[in-house]
Amino acid sequence: MRVEIWSDIACPWCYVGKARFEKALAAFPHRDEVEVVHRSFELDPGRAKDDVQPVLAMLTKKYGMSEAQAQAGEDNLGAQAAAEGLDYRTRGRDHGSTFDMHRLLHFAKEQGRQDQLIQILYRANFAEERSVFSEGTDRLVQLAVQAGLDEAAVRTVLADPAAYADEVRADEREAAELGANGVPFFVLDRKYGVSGAQPAEVFTQALSQAWGARSPLKLIDDGGAEACGPDGCAVPQN
């Protein structure tokens, strides 16, 4: 069974939602038969790479709230994250473009290191003092290497703005086609969708329902036509 997760590194509920989903997945009896794929979704598409600002300033401008309201929201998110065993800095974080991170995540998927990289990026953005936005390419390279990726290859990807750009945009178009207008958005076997950072119990129910709904293969004709198998190929008899 495949679970696709549309998310953004700048999305705090994606950070929390991933932890809740993984709690459910860890207890799922068929967890070793579940493939998890991370898909791209930018909350702030088109934002310039050098357009970096404090999170509170972004929130007050985008949502028209006061700084006190924005800070209260961050404090609430910190509490929600802590309940899932996650570190979360409620003060001093910044916000910027995540496009290069999404490009790197597509590269990491080819290398079998996607989940490792997204977890490192989440932690770097939400829990660590150093910025993933204002320190430039070297910071992203350092984090990608921590995820097990080759430094030279990572630098090559980041140096080419077109590298994996089409893959990012394709994910975002697909999200729109599926009706996802926010993240996190979980799609199970292209049959069931779960929107938002739901409690682990909801993910447990979704996994069980999707697993139970898998349709066994139906043969149109199993009438004994010749075929090859582990024991060899059938030899026609005259």
Please answer whether residues 41 and 185 qualify as being in contact, where contact means their C-beta atoms are separated by less than 8 angstroms. Answer: yes
Three-class DSSP category at 56: helix
At 231, the amino acid letter reads D
Please answer whether residues 6 and 168 qualify as being in contact, where contact means their C-beta atoms are separated by less than 8 angstroms. Answer: no
* Alpha-carbon span 191 to 151, nearest angstrom: 38
For 231, phi then psi, to 5°, come to -95, 5
Please answer whether residues 38 and 105 qualify as being in contact, where contact means their C-beta atoms are separated by less than 8 angstroms. Answer: yes
DSSP type of residue 234? P
pLDDT tens, position by position, 168-194: 999 999 999 999 989 999 999 999 999
* Alpha-carbon span 177 to 4, nearest angstrom: 14
pTM as predicted:
0.89
pLDDT tens, position by position, 196-230: 999 999 999 999 999 999 866 566 655 556 666 55
Give mean pLDDT, residues 9-21. Answer: 98
Please answer whether residues 25 and 14 qualify as being in contact, where contact means their C-beta atoms are separated by less than 8 angstroms. Answer: no
